[in-house]
Structure 1
Amino acid sequence: MPQTKPIVSIENVVASATVNQTVNLNLITQIFPDVEYHPDQFPGLVFRLRSPKTATLIFSSGKMVCTGAKSEKMAIQAVKNVVLKLKKGGIPLEHEPQIEIQNIVASASLGGKIHLELAARVLPRSMYEPEQFPGLIHRMLDPKTVILLFASGKLVCTGAKKESEVYRAVGNLHTLLEEKNLMIYEG
């Protein structure tokens, strides 16, 4: 039985979407003066929302990438809000967006310190080179994620496509660290 329960915080959800048609980016910049568009530097425009606080890249192909959301639900809502604003502004969009979550980045605290040197030898698919980077890089197969684990007991989990996968990955790693006596609890 783990001595502590991990505290997980979803930091960023990245969603991709498409409206399956070409979009006139110059027209969007005329209608929405707040968007950022510098075609000489980057082929997409940036459409920011205050609520949910996100930035959505829109490309002329009709593809979009939304970043900054703190949940899957918020990412999906943000894309729908952008499409709704574009339609209301007079941008001719015939299709509803097809949205897919691409990546979830989360941070977590395991509630104790970790023997990283030992963990690097014991955990499969792990790499620890403290001269290069202060954290251990652990590649989990199920769910398929990459976890950056620090001696402080804090970690960053990336690569999950569902929030449930984040919680499962962190829980699995925490249990494994406990089973292998790699957690240090002061108290």
Structure 2
Amino acid sequence: MQDVTNESALNRVSVISSATNHSSSMHTNPSNTPTHSGTYSSVITPAMSTSQSLIAGEVALTPTHSTFTPQSVNPHSAMTAITPMVSGTDQARSSIKVQNCVSTIHLGCELKLLDIYCRTRFSEYNPARFHGVVMKIIDPRATALVFRSGKVLCTGLRNEHDSYIAARKFARIIQKLGYPARFLDFKIQNFIATADLRFPIRLEALQQAHGQFASYEPELFPGLVYRMVRPRVVLLIFVNGKIVFTGGKTRGEINEALDIIYPILRSYRIS
């Protein structure tokens, strides 16, 4: 009778142990996916794989009890917009304005200046003061200096295109007067531009340190004259930070001159 009781107790313990192992296996594998061997295989739960499967633009599944709530993941949502800083040289470059573009052409024939003056409008001729005819046109607004040799100098334009158009119009006016004028050797001879650095400059100290290139006589002229060797540009520098560029034959030479002179003037800034 005692043996029967012991055997019954052992069977009860075995049943409880089997139930416990079966429950533990179910918790490890909630999908209850049987393997080929007939046992339950272990898989990664969504809670464990969420941090590993987050890819930009994908939807993450966050387990809440027995359901999953979709959450949009935006990698740019935590970024802060940064405004790029503009350098002082770029600011100075943006302030450059071409005030005058001077060009020359040659008509290929000699001219009678008094005859041209008498037969054209908007022209001036005073050989006692200037040995050329001063002619003007309205569109584009330009002035030409016409010389006896056939050379014509055009001034008053703001860009190369307008200077070219004005030079052709002056040549056409001379042709209509009966001269065998041709449009030859058009060249941009000089760009006159201005820039504003927006800080005051110690011109006396600049002249002392760069005496080889700079001359400053405030009694005669309020600006410092700075002559660059390469590019061959002359700068008129004023104490308020304004600069006049002259002598440059291209816009690139004006920009190059500013790039060279800006760090120099920056070191002589009045704080």
1:62 Cα offset (Å) = 0.8
Counterpart position of 1:115: 202
Aligned partner of 1:99 in structure 2 is 186
Alignment partner of 1:84 is 2:172: yes
Amino acid at match of 1:108: A
Residue 74 of structure 1, CA deviation = 2.2
Report Cα offsets for 1:151-182 as digits up to 9, x if no partner.
1000111111112211221222113323xx22
Instruction: Give the alignment partner of residue 71 of structure 1, picking from 159, 162, 166.
Output: 159
Return the alpha-carbon distance in structure 2 between the equivalents of residues 105 and 94 of structure 1.
29
| Equivalent in the alignment of 1:153 | 241
In 1, the alpha carbon distance for the partners of 2:99 and 2:241 equals 17
Gaps (5+ residues) in structure 1?
none
- 4+ long deviations beyond 4 Å: none
- 1:118-157 paired onto structure 2 within 5 Å: 118-123=205-210, 124-157=212-245
Higher relative contact order (CA 8 A, sep 6+): 1
Q: Give 1:16's aligned residue.
A: 104
- Structure 2: distance between partners of 1:76 and 1:168: 24
| Partner SS, residue 156 of structure 1 | strand
Calculate the aligned-residue CA RMSD, in Å: 2.2
**TM-score, normalization by structure 1:** 0.84
Rate the CA distance shift 1:129–1:24 in 2: closer, same or farther, 3 A: closer
1:64/1:115 CA distance change after superposition, 3 Å? same
Give the structure 2 partner of residue 167 of structure 1.
255
Query: Which one is further off, 45-54 or 32-41?
Result: 32-41
Specify which structure has the higher proportion of strand: 1
Whether the 8 Å CA contact 1:28–1:91 is kept in 2: the answer is no
Q: Counting helix residues as a fraction of each chain, which structure ranks higher?
A: 2
Q: Is the alpha carbon distance of 1:24 and 1:131 closer, same or farther for their aligned partners in structure 2, counting shifts above 3 Å?
A: closer
Structure 2 gaps, min length 5? 1-85
Q: For each residue in 1:33-79, what CA deviation from the matched residue of structure 2 results, as whole angstroms up to 9, or x when unmatched?
A: 33222345433211101122111011222111112122233222211
CA distance in structure 2 between the partners assigned to 1:138 and 1:40 by the alignment: 34
| Displacement of 1:150 | 0.9
Q: How many residues align structurally?
A: 182
Partner deviation per Cα, 1:56-111 (whole Å, 9 max, x = no partner): 01122211111212223322221111112333x34333422322222222221112
SS of equivalent residue, structure 2 residue 96: strand
